[in-house]
Structure 1
């Protein structure tokens, strides 16, 4: 059983947290986040409190300090067991202490123990972390400050009870400001929350500040999307080492960060592959019944997911294989094993998709994944797995390890739906599965992002990737990033490396990425100056250290139990040297200046959680939305949000749902209705004996004439329709296009349609 009390302690005392201030500094693709948490002990006894809160999964925590009254204590990174013992010793000898550590189960959960805060005393805790910003489908860089710590499902159907606290009762405030600078102009910054207008700091518009509008209630994630002009320029940042560190060590040498955007030859990209085994794994846990965002008018997550599956199934190429799994506490599949894609199998799958509901309980993702991987692969049909979930699981590391173990046999594309989906889970699935991750929150439509990932999945797999360095004599390079295993057209790859040795300020380096694509050898090059940038605050070093620490931790988990004790020591050494957190270390701060014996016993605030969780969840700093909870508590047969009157179907989806698997449309009353015409109007101008051809041309003209703003959603299925059309060798194309334009009131040119 895992019980969490929103913002109340066990004895129903209010949380001693007063306010949170967050400052974000974004430099190009990298962000430094400084959070200050202000506490006050309002009880009449000394307090020990444990807070559990989420950070982005790939954040590198690099500074932790506490200020009590006039005293500031800066934490040091130590081996975890040693840190815990020092914390206990400090408390028992009457000293104040603070301990910050990463959860054993998931790298994006931290617990903070605030020990021995005297009655009436205030403490402010400062936490700094650095993070790479992920590139979204539309080239926006995404930063997310998680507000909601969803209860993590534990395997074996543990029940979850949560008391939620409405936003109006949140006793603490959040202030949030961001400063963005880049070599390229900042074109816009968008957010899921209301922002004050963007302020540019210079005429080139390469520096800007933005902050949250006043009165923000921390009732949801704060998500920022940052857009630069010419986002696809490759860049290199060389950062000077730390003056106090020894040359030759990671912190003492310069570190380079490269952002690469491989561009593939057009000839290869136009030949989209028409084979593959597409496996879709859909979350149907209770919380998928809640809305995409806080507004009542939005559709539920599950209905958005159903529309998305419709588009995916219509866009698959003839001759491929597919299957659809869905999961909650248990899992189901539509076919016992993947079947060939045809009109019959597509129709059978869509019938089952239409009745899918959010009625399968918890988020138990490990078992369906094991089942998918136990199926033999189909020769010359590369397996592509699409995972859709809004969930947080507490066995994140096990799930990601399973995907990694099978990374040789498939690519994994992941989608985090709604606020609060775990970035560690979603990014980890895609990273270890050689695919791509997308987050769909708030008012985003799911479809464009998913269709972009399908386009990636249809790209030929890039193989034989190698990175070679050309550096001046006397300079050597040590890679800090694991080898690149996947590349997608127009997607960023980041590489970190340590540069050892001396070079003149004018010296240049060059890095070449070579790879093979659909049998063609290709390469991309980037030349860069070796002169280090000053005052970058060691951000690049810390991200490089974090990258290396993460790959070593992965290696340690794979070899656990074998006699290779060296990896853990290496991680601890790196973590202590760079000041970056890891799963084997913790931040410990002890206030040695205060040895007054403590009056009366310490009040310890915590809520028991399962032993494998290894942390006390006291008051989570975050609270849960009532609707998610009610969805979890609902008995399996209770009615879902489906009984509400369904809004009329989106005309685009209505037209798409009529397309045949081969790509064509049939001339019938349903098509006429979708085009907003009567059967007679559609039949009358039809050139002789071309029913399917005429219907398909009408559908294509309608898409180009009325739905260009949603082109990324229907582009693949239109390409399929055009291929079908060309194969018919129709004689009277020009005449059909002209008649179709006249009927629909459009002016779409024949070459635009691809005919």
Structure 2
């Protein structure tokens, strides 16, 4: 870390200014957020500036949970305070936390940036002196998606509440959020910041500027979700008074093809396909990064296909999102042809299908499509977001090859158990199935939906308003068509080696009409050519590279590669995968979930006592105001008083749901905490108890979980008693048993029960259920209460 002095301007008095929210204990810690971006063609260099202030009378430790674009590479952090500049180091995450905590304990100013999801991060800034302001500057490199002549710069501004399934874990939580850590989401407390209730002043001043260089192509009128001002030089400025309550989306119409940073594209034997190959060598050695872009024309000859539509109807989809989701789903059904087949699943805590349709895949006749659309028109938002079962049901229907197989998920993606869902959908089950995701929200969980679409080599379309829906669904309609090329792999030319396991995406890729495919990886050697080979249809092409000395290509490749590795770790959390993640992140200077940026000032500014801990509340996403919210405490946000001790509140957004979901949407709101309650600093990813005598902090009351063991024992006895009965008797009993167990919604049985309708011989489920019920009625040792940091569990 390097430290230098810098002249600083005068700031207004702490707690003053437009948009400041005051409580009886002081103002909230985040004073302003500024985003500065330079867009060149299909890449953006972004600086995010967060300014924290301390309006208390004691030193402050502030925590802010915030989003970043899921494909952005975080490549640097600088902390500024009291005329000093500290450049952060990227370290292994546990080591970085230890350095941060030791700095705080020694009275030095410090900051820590951590990634909790591909698009959810946390910033901790400690030992901010009374009246002082600390500025954090994050450096990002971000690719811009480009399709059908338009590039998109999307910057999320708020972390929306997410559904948190699973039973609470014992021991202290890993973070300071409003949801407890659970078995399904062991870091739930790190991704659930408190919500600033609607109708109160915005505590954060937001500014955003974008300088646009279209790289020599004509640029059409900009389309944006927010009011903009644009000057002749190309500088775009966000209008005043905007809140951190929805994603910022800027669309740049470049024309009918992507900007080419290299030589003229080479015509390809496949009609309408153009390509570009760039090499970015490292400063030292004979290695570098390659980026191959294939851009096909928008054209397709549709073949018969099987389509399963999965629609989220959970509580977080309330309002315009449910209306838009119904329209989106209906558009997909209407786009099918008579030779296609389809199925529709709508889900919350249960899964429903349209009445009047045959079981399984129905022919896309006019009558069947009408009944499906009629079913969709009646759907209302309710309940919890149990997403895994309908996805597995959909994959089971699409299991037979022979036709184009497509799964379309329409949701806001607001779930906390992303890793659990992806781990339960291994790539082998998605082989030959294209998964498209349609994210509907003004603060969508783009990271998860993008990962799921990448697993299925599909498209992720994000819809932030009803006005945007028609355009988005037109593009989804095109993508449901057959791919131009499948099974695409790379081969190095003479004198060149593609470094093992560095190509992203890792799976053989497909090329779809109008959708650019970007393949990147690491190379070694002095050669200058790569070949691409496809298996369907048989196709091969050799490309000559153009060398670019300075480019964000390496950082962007590292970010994409780290995401591939993180997805693999979710399925197989081995020490080898963790070591590889850490090594890749540190070598290329790109933040991931296993590393963190830590900045420590060498100057001692406090006596080392625990600073006053405050977590920054976030805005409720725009359009969520009509949801059922907990009864607020007397103040908008309970700001703890120094040196007091009281349990923390878990007041979070709550939705009307039937049945209630413990720890998630639909749970009854907890009682508000009394004002006051100092938070001690979290240690090694888990917050120690502030209660006297070291007792663990109390969790908010959750609905009691009934003991189902007696029921399971009874059902097991019945199974064993009928094991020698005639097949018709056993089948009738099994059919009834499945309905009873489904009503209990036991996660350990969900996959077995979901497979029942698709089994060629339903009685093959009998011994499997007997084995599962035996396991559920066998006592197991209590889980240990000592937990490792969540990112190493």
Q: What's the TM-score, normalizing by structure 1?
A: 0.70
**Displacement, 1:412?**
0.5
> Does residue 324 of structure 2 align to residue 304 of structure 1?
yes
**Where does residue 353 of structure 2 map in the other structure?**
333
Alignment of 1:719-734 (within 5 A): none
Q: Summarize the Cα distance change of 1:166–1:525 in structure 2 as closer, same or farther, 3 Å threshold.
A: farther
Match status 1:533 vs 2:549: yes
- Matched-pair contact (CA < 8 Å) for 2:316–2:414: no
Q: CA deviation at 1:526?
A: 4.2
2:158 counterpart of 1:154 = no
| 8 Å CA contact retained: 2:59, 2:606 | no
Query: Counterpart in 2 of 1:718?
Result: none
Residue of structure 2 in register with 1:388 after alignment: 410
Distance 1:462 1:403, change over 3 A: farther
Shift of 1:263: 4.7
Asked if 1:585 corresponds to 2:595, the answer is: yes
Change (3 A) 1:172 1:557: closer
Bigger mean CA offset, 301-310 vs 320-329: 301-310
In the alignment, is the contact (CA less than 8 A) between 1:157 and 1:329 conserved in 2?
no
Q: 1:211 and 2:211 equivalent?
A: no
Distance 1:217 1:550, change over 3 A: closer
Whether 1:51 aligns to 2:64 is yes
List gaps (5 residues or longer) in structure 2.
Answer: 1-18, 169-177, 180-191, 261-274, 630-652, 660-793
2:316 aligns with one of 287, 294, 307: 287
Matched, 1:498 2:522: yes
CA shift for structure 1 position 92 = 1.5
Residue 174 of structure 2 corresponds to which residue in structure 1?
A: none
Aligned residues of 1:278 and 1:386 also touching (Cα < 8 A): yes
User: 1:323, 1:386 → 2: CA distance?
Assistant: 11
1:231 aligns with 2:257: yes
Q: Distance in 2 between matches of 1:119 and 1:12?
A: 13
Q: Structure 1 residues 460, 90: closer, same or farther in 2, change over 3 A? A: closer
Distance in 1 (CA, whole Å) between partners of 2:218 and 2:198 is: 36
Specify which of 126, 129, 133 is matched with residue 144 of structure 2.
133
Change (3 A) 1:466 1:11: farther
CA–CA distance in structure 2, aligned partners of residues 483 and 144 of structure 1: 26
| Alignment partner, residue 222 of structure 1 | 248
Structure 1 residues 404 and 131, CA gap change in structure 2 (3 angstroms) = farther
Residue 320 of structure 1 contacts residue 381 of structure 1 at CA under 8 Å; is this kept in 2? no
Pick from 390, 394, 412 the counterpart of residue 372 of structure 1.
394
Q: Which has the higher helix share?
A: 1
Q: CA deviation at 1:133?
A: 1.5
Match of 2:779 in 1: none
> Against the structure 1 CA distance between its residues 499 and 183, is the aligned structure 2 distance closer, same or farther, given a 3 Å change threshold?
farther
Query: Residue deviations 1:557-596, cap 9 Å, x none?
Result: 33335xxx33322221221122111111111111122265
How many Å apart are 1:356 and its aligned residue?
Answer: 1.3
2:567 maps to 554
Aligned to 1:122: 133
Assess, with a 3 A threshold, how the Cα gap between structure 1 residues 247 and 622 changes in structure 2: closer, same or farther.
farther
CA distance in 2, matches of 1:392, 1:281: 15
Quote the Cα distance in structure 1 between the aligned partners of 2:254 and 2:49: 29
* Cross-structure match for 2:616: 619
Distance 1:423 1:142 in 2: 14
Aligned residue number for residue 440 of structure 1: 463
Q: 1:659-698 to 2 correspondence within 5 Å?
A: none
Superposition pairs for residues 334-733 of structure 1, below 5 Å? 334=354, 336-358=359-381, 360-375=382-397, 377-405=399-427, 406-460=429-483, 462-470=485-493, 473=495, 475-478=496-499, 479-481=502-504, 482-502=506-526, 509-517=528-536, 520-523=537-540, 526-530=543-547, 532-534=548-550, 536=551, 539-561=552-574, 565-594=575-604, 596-598=606-608, 601-605=610-614, 618-625=615-622, 626-627=624-625, 629-630=627-628, 633=654, 635=656
4+ long deviations beyond 6 Å:
6-12, 157-162
Counterparts in 2 of 1:391 and 1:235: CA distance versus 1, 3 Å? same
1:150-299 aligned within 5 A? 150-156=160-166, 163-166=195-198, 169-188=201-220, 189-197=222-230, 199-200=232-233, 208-232=234-258, 234-242=275-283, 246-248=284-286, 253-263=287-297, 269-270=300-301, 272-273=302-303, 275-290=304-319
CA distance in 2, matches of 1:20, 1:305: 32
Contact kept in structure 2, 1:403 and 1:433, CA below 8 Å: no
Q: Distance in 1 between matches of 2:228 and 2:276?
A: 29
Distance 1:389 1:183 in 2: 35
Distance apart, 1:468 and its partner CA: 3.1
Distance 2:627 2:240 in 1: 29
C-alpha distance 221-501 of structure 1, shift in aligned 2 (>3 A) = same
CA distance in structure 2 between the aligned counterparts of 1:257 and 1:167, rounded to whole angstroms = 48
1:323 and 2:340 matched: no
| Cα deviation code 1:412-453 (max 9, x no counterpart) | 011111211111112111111111111111353423422332
Alignment partners' CA distance in 1, 2:426 and 2:39? 31
Q: Deviations over 1:205-239 (max 9, x none)?
A: xxx43222344333432111122234246444433
| Offset, 1:109 | 1.1
Alpha-carbon deviations, 1:118-163, whole Å to 9, x = none?
A: 1112100011122221224x43222222122111110159998965
Secondary structure at 1:486's aligned position in 2? strand
Residue matched to 1:707? none
What SS class does the counterpart of residue 158 from structure 2 fall into? coil
| Partner secondary structure for residue 32 of structure 2 | strand
**In 2, Cα distance between the equivalents of 1:77 and 1:302?**
42
Per the TM alignment, residue 24 of structure 1 is displaced from its structure 2 partner at its CA by 0.8
Which moved further from structure 2: 218-227 or 145-154?
A: 218-227
Q: Work out whether residues 62 and 129 of structure 1, in 8 Å CA contact, stay in contact via their aligned partners in 2.
A: yes
Native 8 Å contact 2:443 2:621 kept in 1: no
TM-score normalised per structure 2: 0.67
Q: Report the 3-state secondary structure (helix = DSSP H, G, I; strand = E; otherwise coil) of the residue aligned with 1:552.
A: helix
CA contact (8 A) 1:80 1:586 kept: yes
Shift of 1:467: 2.2
Structure 1 unaligned blocks of 5 or more = 1-5, 201-207, 291-299, 504-508, 606-617, 639-755
Query: Given the superposition, is the C-alpha separation of residues 178 and 460 from structure 1 closer, same or farther in structure 2, using an over 3 Å criterion?
Result: closer
Partner of 2:649: none
2-structure distance, mates of 1:129, 1:448: 29
Q: How far apart in 2 are the matches of 1:49 and 1:9? A: 16
Q: How many residues were matched structurally?
A: 572
